[in-house]
Amino acid sequence: MSNSAPDLGQEGGQRAVRLSESAGIATLTFTHPKAAFGPATWLETAQALGQLGQARVLIVRGERHFSVGLDVKATAPSIAAALSQPAATRHGAFKAVVDEMHAAIEGLAALPIPVIAAIDGWCIGAGLELAAACDIRLATHAARFSLPEVRLGIAADLGGLQRLPGIVGRGRAAHLALTAEPIDAATAERWGLVTELHADADALYARADALAAHLAALPPRALEGTKRTLNGGLPHAQSLAAAVDWNAEHMTAEGLASALN
């Protein structure tokens, strides 16, 4: 379970996420006043993913920083209650708390549409694990990335240890996870964690919108099949067969003719 530094405020009664949609492009914005992820973030994110409607691309961003990680103060009561249970029920109670976080991040990863993470400022712990579940990551030069869980005596358990080796390589993922040291945007780009850097937040969000518009204009079935093949985790031969099977099922002569014109 990902944690950020302590002393983060409660979510204060306001909505934790904001979902907007226009011209086939949806934007999910995290709105916690201190850019943290609290219990409402996970619940509202999972709900928002079920409300995407006809969206063909999703942009994920923060209102200020992308995310400084888990809102420790807001989350601590449920964790403490789980850990205080008798041994026979402790594991199940703790897993139930984390499963709420998994539902949001795994739901994001499972979307059939492309997901773009637009990262400005800090992307820490749970924020980095959520960003790793996106398909494309763009950032500003001011972005900073960290997986600090070991400093807090825990192992990251929201998918970062599973996804980051496939994004940056095992050695670099191990460096992030074992040292808990932050990396800057230039390092993140060099490692392949992000694919583009932009001067500031305005340039970042403009580029995310433009890239989303480009993706939204492409054949959605082709994008879905490409994403499924990339994320399938199958051995080489099986992955090749899966791509062929997808095309055989979804490709049409009319679509091919249209693409060639």
Query: pLDDT at position 239, please?
Result: 74
pTM: 0.87
Give me the count of residues in the chain.
261
> For position 7, what pLDDT does the model report?
31
- The Cα 53–Cα 49 span in angstroms is 9
Residues in the chain with pLDDT values less than 50:
2-12
235 CB burial (10 A radius; 0-12, 13-18, 19+): exposed
Domain ranges of the chain: 17-216, 220-260
What gap in Å lies between CA 166 and CA 233, rounded to an integer? 10
Sheet holding 122-124, edge to edge: 122-124, 144-146, 183-184
**Contact 205/118 with Cβ under 8 angstroms?**
yes
Give the per-residue pLDDT at 249: 75
93-105: pLDDT as tens digits: 788 878 888 999 9
CATH entry 3.90.226.10 includes domain 17-216: yes
Q: What is the largest CA-CA distance in the chain?
A: 67
